[in-house]
Amino acid sequence: MKRLLFISFAVLTLASAALYWTRSERQITVPVLYWITQVDPLKEETIALFKSWLHDRGLPPVEVRIDNANQDPTKKLAQGLAGVGADLFDIYIFETELFSQSGMLMDVTEQAQAAGFGPEATYPALYGDIVVNGRQFGFPRNAGGNMCWINQDTFARYGVPEPGEHWTWDEFEQLGRKLVTAANPPGTRQRVYFIQGFQNVSPMLLRRGLGLDIFNETMTRCTLDDPRNTEVMRRQYRWVAELHLIPTLAEQMTMAADAGRKGDEWFYLYAKGRYAMLLVDRWALIRLRDLGPLRSRVVEPCNSGFRNMEIGCGLLAAYAGTKHPREAAQFLQFLTSEPFNLLIARSGDSLPPVPKYAKTEAFLRPPDHPEEWAMEKMFAATAPEIGIAYARSPFVQSGTLYRPVTGIDQQVYDAVVAGRLAPEDAGRVEAARIDAEIALNVRADPKLRRQYDELVKVQQKIDALRAQGRPVPVAWITNPFHRAYYKAKGWLQEEPKL
Amino acid sequence: MSRQSRARRLGVGLLFLLPNILGFLAFILVPLVMSFGMAFTDWDFLRHNLFRHEPLHFIGVGNFARLFTHPLFWQYLGNTFFLMLGLPFAIAGSLGAALLLTRAGRARHRIKAALVLAMVILAGSGLMLLRGGMAESGVWLFFGLLTAATLIAGVLTGGMLYRTLFYLPNFTAGVATFVLWKKLYNPDTGPINQALAPLLDQFSAWVRSMPNAFTFGLPLVSAGLATVIAGWQARRLRRQWDQSEAGVAAVIAGTVALGVPLALLLGWWGVSAALAGAMSLIVGAVFAGLTFRRSRVWGRTKAVDKGLGTEVALAMVLIPLLLLLAAGIVIGPSLPAAAAAGIEPPNWLGDYYWAKPAFIMMMLWAAIGSNNMILYLAGLSSIPPELYEAADMDGATAAQRFWHITWPQLAPVTFFISIMSVIYGLQGGFEMARAMTLGGPAGSTTTLSYFIFNEGFETGRIGYASAVAWVLFALVFGLSLCNFRYGSRHVDD
């Protein structure tokens, strides 16, 4: 028995050593960057372009490998904080503060300024997505905002007129009722919806239309305990629970199961006419091109009052603990290059990260897809014109607010749809929960407390000026929505400088 | 044996034990001690990690104080307890499965009866097919055929197939079964709703044809049954008190079993939670007060907790039963209106009110054929056959044999199973929620264990998550202690 134990131990030790010495990384003499992202042809092509970009500039070669098994934010966080994070990783909209606050993102401010991939190289609206407390933590792979995709065949099939480029909530409701009624005969299970579920996005769009955002100007307090939010919640309840223009989360899951697909079911159902519209960014082209020729149009999201749409980016960041910081920074710099931006333009992904490439022929008139030209024009023009980034308060993580299912915004929305919370109470409940989170975070972190106290004083000054009807210095406002709204209303003392 | 030899043997023994000891120290003891320490600190992933070295602060019981004032903590605790309502049924199901399997093993000669049963099932499936057409009845036919085939094959294999099938959920990977159930629960395409749809259509037609039976009949019958059960429990409690078989704590526990469904019923009727709670508390207090004033035949017992174990066990059965009847009272009047539009099968995982019952049904499926069934099978095989022979000679019926021999003889097994079930029940819910609902909708399937994960790994508040984990531990420990304290008496008896 003892011999067996020792033999097993020795064999396992030798096998481990052999595995270590023969692993593929040891065969490669160039630095290897691991990139947590999806595996798709676009990423493969990005890596090939990066290698040739390095070669063209006479830089030493770098190997980039995709890790698609660790995309879950929890895994990225746990691995990063344990010191074994990937060198590069995609960061999605709800993760920026989580990762930047933890310190696991490489601060690239100086390299970015020196190599030309600072915030000024991309859209001004994305400033808050890549810069936190004055420090830059990455660069966008793409940029854009959700627009309404219209399946023209579906509208024609049910004899419903298509909306114009700019349309209101009332028009949305009116057209939606017509289409859903025509497409779902009485006594049958509903199979066709006007638009896919967008409860994560829509409240913000609607609130902003009424001049309301989740936070105040300095992002020190939640402002949803406001009658305008009640109006939004009522309208959403009507659209989802009463008129069934939009499926609930569970209905969406059912539709996904019907499609027999996961991940790209929206597009499949849109192509099949079960969603008459989609609210999604330009990258839908990547999926829709594979589903055959479709007669589609793109219009801006329905807006009443203040015209707006969310704009955001797919951020690429480097790990603070990377063994190859120089090469990681080179990869970020490569994102501003012409080959990469033209790749984004022709692939059907969102807008190229460098704005000038969204004005090129390659973007506006892709030769293989003349049917998309009108849509490309809409994307290139609308997102920079009315796009406003998410409000990211330093005092509460976006994930806590917007995370699917468990985010406060989603939970309150679900409670309203389930009839457990009256729309009139939703704003009060949500504001109380978010303010409690802010208070908790501020109490726990002295640095944050100082910042908070300063901003509360600024907020008081803003409130005092607004009470007198006087304009406010732009530098006082940190919430991107309020900057845009104040500017549109003429309430700013000066233009924002980013 | 020489000293040298003894030392050598000790060394070798320790060497063998070392991996386990190291594993225990590294992965259990040290994390346990650390998590206890962390529960009293403001440890936050985002501020205290490899890259940010801010000082860790001792905050005393701050995390615990915050937890108990967190409005959602009580909802999540309630969810955890709600999911545990299925435990008595799961235990009863395991026992039932074990009894059936024991009988199946002896019933090889009853193949004719099995065949007749299979034929009846097949004929039923055929009738369903004729009645509803292939599209709606296909699922029923499939289930019918499957059941018949299983039944016959089971009888032919002397129960071996049943044992394997019943135990299947236990050795199937959890996540795989959750994904499977997610598909089964799909409101449109899932076989459960496909099987329910024709039945509900039929039921809707039935309700439409005699609306008064449901508007008034169902609530009246439910209320009547609930009254009978509540009356029986009240009388029983008083009798127990009078005969000094129940102490103060037992009477209170027995009263709570009546008060909780009453409070929930009032809540479903739209009475505010505070008022409903207060009303049922008053009713309960009056009943308990009047009971305590009664004189006792054998004088006042000093043991306030006498009979508490029985009352708690009974409460676990009474509460779900009374809740079902309360649901009948509430749903009855609205049924005709719902039937007019056609009663739809539930949106199992997407509806706030159905998500938890859907979880319970899935847990029952998994629990009935679990290790509990194996333990009961082992327990049944260890009951001395002489006891049954003696009972047969005395002319005992099957029910009498069960209640006076099988059930008492299985008491130690039941005791062990109930303790383990309560522990797993309190700790459970995480995998299901993570794989099926992410804790939604609106937090309806978030249990304490899922709350711990959310706070620890999605928000980064490790100190707070540790505090929640220790509160959960305290609950598990407390309930297990009660189980030992009051349940073991029945075992000893």
- The answer, for A102 touching chain B at a CB cutoff of 8 Å, is yes
- The answer, for B135 touching chain A at a CB cutoff of 8 Å, is no
CA distances from B66 to A414, A440, B71 (A): 25, 10, 10
The answer to whether the Cβ–Cβ distance between B349 and A406 falls below 8 Å is no
Q: Are A232 and A331 in contact (CB under 8 A)?
A: no
**Predicted local distance difference test score (pLDDT) of residue B331:** 84
pLDDT at A260 over 70: no
Residues B272-299 pLDDT 10s? 878 888 898 999 999 988 888 876 655 5
The whole-angstrom separation of Cα A91 and Cα A99 is 9
Output B137 or B2, whichever has higher pLDDT: B2
The whole-angstrom separation of Cα A87 and Cα A327 is 9
Q: Are B61 and B40 in contact (CB under 8 A)?
A: yes
List the single residue in A78, A414, A418 with the smallest CB-CB distance to B457. Answer: A78
The answer to whether the Cβ–Cβ distance between A257 and B186 falls below 8 Å is yes
Percentage of chain B lying above the pLDDT 90 cut:
17
Burial A290-315 (b: 16+ CB within 10 A, else e): eeeebebbbbbbbbeebebbbbbbbb
- The answer, for A32 touching chain B at a CB cutoff of 8 Å, is no
List the single residue in A2, A250, A400 with the smallest CB-CB distance to B349. Answer: A250
The answer to whether the Cβ–Cβ distance between B441 and A404 falls below 8 Å is no
Interface with B, mutate which of A254, A433, A442, A447 (most B CBs under 10 A) = A254
Output B7 or B491, whichever has higher pLDDT: B7
Q: What residue in B sits closest to A85 (Cα-Cα)?
A: B50
**Predicted local distance difference test score (pLDDT) of residue B347:** 83
pLDDT band at A498 (very low <50, low <70, confident <90, very high): very low
Residues A434-471 pLDDT 10s? 999 999 889 888 888 999 999 999 999 999 999 999 99
**Predicted local distance difference test score (pLDDT) of residue B137:** 59
CA distances from A435 to A93, A200, A207 (A): 21, 20, 18
Percentage of chain A lying above the pLDDT 90 cut:
56
**Predicted local distance difference test score (pLDDT) of residue A480:** 92
Specify the range with the lowest mean pLDDT, choosing from B51-55, B136-140, B273-277, B489-493.
Answer: B489-493
Question: CB under 8 Å to B43, separation ≥6 — which residues?
Answer: B56, B461, B462, B463, B466
**Predicted local distance difference test score (pLDDT) of residue B46:** 83
Residues of chain A contacting residue B62, judged by C-beta atoms under 8 Å apart: none
Strand partners, A275: A193
Q: Tell me the pLDDT of chain A averaged across its residues.
A: 89
Residues of chain B contacting residue A445, judged by C-beta atoms under 8 Å apart: 47, 54
A423: Cα within 13 Å, side-chain hemisphere: 16
**Predicted local distance difference test score (pLDDT) of residue B198:** 81
Q: DSSP secondary structure string, A66-127?
A: EE-S--SHHHHHHHHHTT---SEEEE-TTTHHHHHHHT-B---HHHHHHHT-SGGGS-GGGH
pLDDT at B480 over 90: no
The arithmetic mean of pLDDT across residues A415-423, rounded, is 83
pLDDT band at B39 (very low <50, low <70, confident <90, very high): very high
If phi over 0 gives left and psi between -120 and 50 gives alpha, with beta otherwise, what is residue A116?
left
Residues A289-317 pLDDT 10s? 888 788 999 999 998 889 999 888 999 99
Question: How many C-beta atoms surround the C-beta of residue A285 within 10 A?
Answer: 23
The whole-angstrom separation of Cα A389 and Cα A146 is 12
The answer to whether the Cβ–Cβ distance between A83 and B50 falls below 8 Å is yes
Residues B354-404 pLDDT 10s? 899 999 999 888 888 788 888 998 999 889 989 989 988 888 888 888 888
DSSP A323: S
* Mode of pairing for the β-strands spanning A387-389 and A309-318: parallel
Q: Tell me which residue has tokens 């040290």.
A: B30
Q: Are A289 and A68 in contact (CB under 8 A)?
A: no
Question: ∠ CA A163-A146-A229 to the nearest 5 degrees?
Answer: 85
ipTM of this complex prediction, to 2 decimal places: 0.80
pLDDT at B429 over 90: no
Q: Are A484 and A388 in contact (CB under 8 A)?
A: yes
Helices (H), ranges, B346-384: 355-368, 371-381
Q: Tell me the pLDDT of chain B averaged across its residues.
A: 83
Residues A189-232 pLDDT 10s? 788 999 987 554 478 889 999 999 999 999 999 999 999 999 99
**Predicted local distance difference test score (pLDDT) of residue B300:** 56
The whole-angstrom separation of Cα B307 and Cα B287 is 18
Q: What is the pTM of this model?
A: 0.80
Q: Are A130 and A427 in contact (CB under 8 A)?
A: no
User: Mind telling me how many Å the CA of A5 is from chain B's nearest CA?
Assistant: 9
The whole-angstrom separation of Cα B186 and Cα A252 is 11
The answer to whether the Cβ–Cβ distance between A406 and B454 falls below 8 Å is yes
Strand partners, A132: A135
Percentage of chain A lying above the pLDDT 70 cut:
95
**Predicted local distance difference test score (pLDDT) of residue B302:** 57
List the single residue in B49, B342, B437 with the smallest CB-CB distance to A103. Answer: B49
DSSP B440: -
How far the first Cα of chain A sits from its last, in Å, is: 72
What are the structure tokens assigned to A378, written together? 């809409």
pLDDT at B107 over 60: no
- The answer, for B18 touching chain A at a CB cutoff of 8 Å, is no
User: Mind telling me how many Å the CA of A377 is from chain B's nearest CA?
Assistant: 39
Q: What residue in A sits closest to B341 (Cα-Cα)?
A: A187
List the single residue in B45, B188, B440 with the smallest CB-CB distance to A189. Answer: B188
Specify the range with the lowest mean pLDDT, choosing from A258-272, B44-58, B358-372.
Answer: A258-272
Residues B225-234 pLDDT 10s? 999 999 999 9
Helix (H) or strand (E) holding B33: helix B30-38
Q: What residue in A sits closest to B201 (Cα-Cα)?
A: A187
pLDDT at A380 over 70: yes
**Predicted local distance difference test score (pLDDT) of residue B136:** 55
Question: CB under 8 Å to A8, separation ≥6 — which residues?
Answer: none
Interface with B, mutate which of A81, A248, A416 (most B CBs under 10 A) = A81
Give the start-end residues of each E strand in A300-417: 309-318, 387-389
Residues A142-178 pLDDT 10s? 998 889 999 999 999 999 999 999 999 999 999 999 9
pLDDT at A414 over 70: yes
The CA-based dihedral angle spanning residues A252, A256, A259, A265, taken in that order and rounded to the nearest 10 degrees:
100
- The answer, for B20 touching chain A at a CB cutoff of 8 Å, is no
DSSP B404: I
Q: What residue in B sits closest to A84 (Cα-Cα)?
A: B50
List the single residue in B47, B52, B350 with the smallest CB-CB distance to A249. Answer: B350
Q: What residue in B sits closest to A188 (Cα-Cα)?
A: B342
User: Mind telling me how many Å the CA of B389 is from chain A's nearest CA?
Assistant: 49
Residues of chain A contacting residue B355, judged by C-beta atoms under 8 Å apart: none
pLDDT at A116 over 70: yes
The arithmetic mean of pLDDT across residues A262-278, rounded, is 86
